[in-house]
Amino acid sequence: MNIPAVRAIFVSEMARWFRTISQSLIAPVISTSLYFVVFGSAIGSRMSEVDGVGYAAFLVPGLAMLSILTQSLSNAAFGIYITKWSGTIYELLSAPVSWVEAVTGYVGAAAAKSVLLGLVIILTARLFVSFEIVHPVWMVAFLLLTAVTFSLFGFAIGIWAGNFEQLQIVPLLVVTPLTFLGGSFYSVKMLPPFWQKVTLLNPVVYLVSGFRWSFYGRGDVAVGVSLAMALVFLAICLAVISWIFKTGYKLKN
């Protein structure tokens, strides 16, 4: 294992993040705060409890998850795409670095950023709403699992993307709708019976539900199912990434 290489990639990716801290950390925190002000306070105060907790508190895990998903995806996708786009990837390809090490560095950094961001968002939320976290260890576990899975997904998108438009298209057209329809803002139980079934095809539902369970001890689906689905999704992403590197897809012509 080439540990210095993993560290070098991780450090340089984190440095990129800190260089643009206002965009990478402050902007998501502000937009999440706006969600709390609008949905939590203004609208939420007129709403009854959802699934046994106040609406504003109900929103916390979902909103944190929303940011973690989108930021993991965009951080990881951008990190590797910009290396490809600028041509500096020659160095990675000609270095004694295995794909496992390269992915560990890039995905590790992207996941670390979104875990940091998720924690900051939860802390920010605490300023607006009062809530307790019932299963803190599971909360961190779901946070890590989601951050790693979506960073892997983002990494694959970054390698696949041939231009900036393609880089944006999957997050915008697939992931954002899935996240909004994934029970971040509502409980699946609030949907008509038919849509309750349809929504179970959405992988984000399981992640949000599991994350919410770690906060309040209840979710839309059983926590075991959430965990299993999260692991399945992780496995799929790992398989795609290993295929990319084994075949040299879009990396080596």
Based on the shown chain and the rule CB under 8 A, indicate whether residue 136 belongs to the binding site for other proteins.
Answer: no
Q: Which is nearer to other proteins, 48 or 253 (CB)?
A: 253
* First-to-final CA distance of the chain: 26
CA torsion through residues 130, 136, 142, 147, sign: positive
On whether the CB atoms of residues 93 and 252 are closer than 8 A, the answer is: yes
Based on the shown chain and the rule CB under 8 A, indicate whether residue 7 belongs to the binding site for other proteins.
Answer: yes
- Tell me which of 132, 192, 246, 252 binds other proteins, using CB under 8 A: 252
CB atoms within 10 A of CB 168: 15
Interacting positions 17-46 with other proteins (CB under 8 A): 19
Q: Which is nearer to other proteins, 12 or 33 (CB)?
A: 12
* Per-residue contact string for residues 75-94; x = within reach of other proteins by CB under 8 A: -----------xxx-xxxxx
Q: How many residues bind other proteins (CB under 8 A)?
A: 26
Q: Is 146 helix (H, G, I), strand (E, B) or coil?
A: helix
On whether the CB atoms of residues 221 and 205 are closer than 8 A, the answer is: yes
* Continuous segment of H or E residues that includes residue 80: helix 55-86
- Tell me which of 57, 60, 97, 227 binds other proteins, using CB under 8 A: 97
CA distance 237 to 79: 17
CA distance 23 to 28: 8
Report the nearest approach of other proteins to the CB of residue 90 (Å): 5
Based on the shown chain and the rule CB under 8 A, indicate whether residue 192 belongs to the binding site for other proteins.
Answer: no
- Tell me which of 14, 29, 95, 225 binds other proteins, using CB under 8 A: 95
Report the nearest approach of other proteins to the CB of residue 253 (Å): 6
**Single-letter amino acid code for the residue at 248:** G
Query: Which residues contact other proteins (rule: CB under 8 A)?
Result: 2, 4-5, 7-9, 11-12, 15-16, 19, 86-88, 90-98, 248, 252-253
